[in-house]
Structure 1
Amino acid sequence: MIETLSGQPLNVVICGAGKIGHLTTVLFKQLPDVNVTLLGSHPRLPEAYQQHGKRLHALLPNGEMLTATPDCVTCDPAEACRDADVVIITVPANFRADLLARIVPHLPADKPVYVGAIPGFCGFDWLAERELSARPNAVIWGMKDVAHIAFDLLPGQSIKMGGEKATLYVATHRRETAASQQTLMVLLQRLYSAPVVLLPDYLEITLTPGNPIMHSAVIYGLIGPYGQWHARPLSQPLCWWNDCPELGAYYLERMDEENQQLCAALETRLGVRLDSVLPLKQEIIDAYGDQIADAHTMLSVLRTNQAYHGIGLPLQKHDAGGYVFDTQHRVFQEDIAYGLSLLVTIAENLAVSVPYIEEVYRWCSDYMGTSTQDRPDYFPPHWLTDEMN
């Protein structure tokens, strides 16, 4: 089957017409024998695409402009998914369940379909298992992080590409066979120029320290009960990392230590190895190396990483002047409501104390106006028992 797939046109569906969706579409269309469909949710997407000559453009870091004509740009899941071989979901975690509900009835039932999320955090494997129950032929996978940085999106028109990951890490749901994993690796290596490495366990994606603890710690350090801007608007727009407060870096390190404790507990309870889940500071240094001017402390790593330079906080103007956080932004609706809450749930199941994570999660949830009990409903109730059997 692997030989056959390698020699035939590959039908890829990109779900989510945001920055990553647009860039991935353009890059994949540079490859031979790859049919690419871009599935969006807004009816203006195909209109904008047609009005601009049915061309998508991607500006590369070296100034080169790539142009692509996808095989289909649509909002119709039936049109998009009927011949899919690979489905890549790029929408935020808080939109994944609705998206899967839209596409599942239209996925082929007579061949393997490789359904993955980029990035694959927030427990995508558990959600996909539930939503894809009617498609046992689906192979569930996720990528540890985005393959490329993308920015300056003009929907249906153009996107700019930033940095590119040197190595890509993926994992599959625990139910998948070695044969399915092998085929997936062949398909992904066909699509991506960077080496693709298969991780032993999906938990390595779920527990990789990233946006959920990074963003929430900075928010807490800035406007939490001990922050400089607690209960008052920011006087001017700030950047995530250039302006990261010392308190935010402190909480980030404490939360990262608790995440490592979760990994250690899971390794003991389940007998798995989560070797790729490194402490966050080391993850950042390994990823960005000489782009970091001062790697001495967590605070200096964040503030002097050139790759992080100038990334603004998601703010909106306050009626009384100044700026406040936009709580509808994905850093709240995805990173905190899904990512951070999942870590709290895992800790509760393991009976591991994570006081810093819980403190930040409780405060951020209250700031958003949501209950800490209002968590994603796809966490398997008997997960730990099932995994141990």
Structure 2
Amino acid sequence: MNLNRRTLLASGATAATLATLGLPVRAQEGPLKVGFIYVGPVGDGGWTFQHDQARQEAQAQFGDAIETIYQESVPEGADAERAITQMILGGAKLIFTTSFGYMDATVNVAAKFPDVKFEHATGYKTAPNLATYDARFYEGRAVCGTIAGRMTKTNKIGYIGSYPIPENIQGINSAFIHARKVNPDVEMVVIWAYTWFDPAKEADAAKAMIEQGVDVILQHTDSTAPQAAAQAAGNVYTFGQASDMAAFKPTPRISSIIDHWSPYYIQRIQAVLDGTWQSQSFWGGIKDGVVQIGEITEAVPAEVKAEAEALRDKMAAGEYHPFTGPLNKQDGSPWLAEGQTPTDEELHGMNFYVEGLTGEIPS
């Protein structure tokens, strides 16, 4: 094929101009290039680590048919928009943006590149070339909350939240409801870290809880710093977040909630390769294998382990919803009647604590 200067310009240097105009960049020959935007470092031991493990599994599954690339520790906001655009100019035709705060950046870039496919984790905005995917973390929190309620000796459990968004609030409420079911005397201390990944802030939050008498800690932040703080304190139990955090077994980490993304990534990459990809909103849970409960260690009594596993299995079979009425909101007003469960739309908009939780949700 004769490649003259005009051809080279059209395929290369003018890509930036095309992007500025909102026009599609030319399709490339060769493997499908798949990009991943990460909010933390791949070595965080939690959320980003787990996404990157899934990326590697997808690369192994497809071999030379795809090429995966990633950028780690991308701040949410304008920086994300730039990072996504750079991946497209580098030839990426499918991009996974793996944090809630990337939502608007992903929407903006997707509008400029209609021929590129986008997948945004935990968001709710879609477009013809933009899909969303999420996990029902609140199901895993129900299991961890059950164990926490049984294991606490001080009747104080803690929850380190990242940001006060529905995803976090669902988990706090679910953990508290199920801890209270097995131990009506349980109180929950919630501390907001206002970060997904900051080991120093996460460690400080854990230490502050422990000083208040908390002896079981759950978290929705990404580092292992709370595990290390609990280990240093002694007699404090924790749960792995997003990945197994197995280095801290058998204590303080006594179980974990694991995000298993690789089947979804493999399925969606295959759809692009097949030409069958369509925008969708996916929200998978325990029954889908997206949310998994890590090994419950020997530090947990056998009867408590059996109770937790039975709850897990009921959710896997579709026989139980963690938010089943009667349940009231924090102010005592009715939320769910006897036997009633919320719609997914209600859960996606959750902005309140359930009855029994103290403190306010920051605005």
Shared fold per TM-score greater than 0.5: no
Larger RCO of the pair (alpha carbons < 8 Å, separation 6+): 2
Give the TM-score normalised by the residue count of structure 2.
Answer: 0.33
Give the TM-score normalised by the residue count of structure 1.
Answer: 0.32
Larger Rg: 2
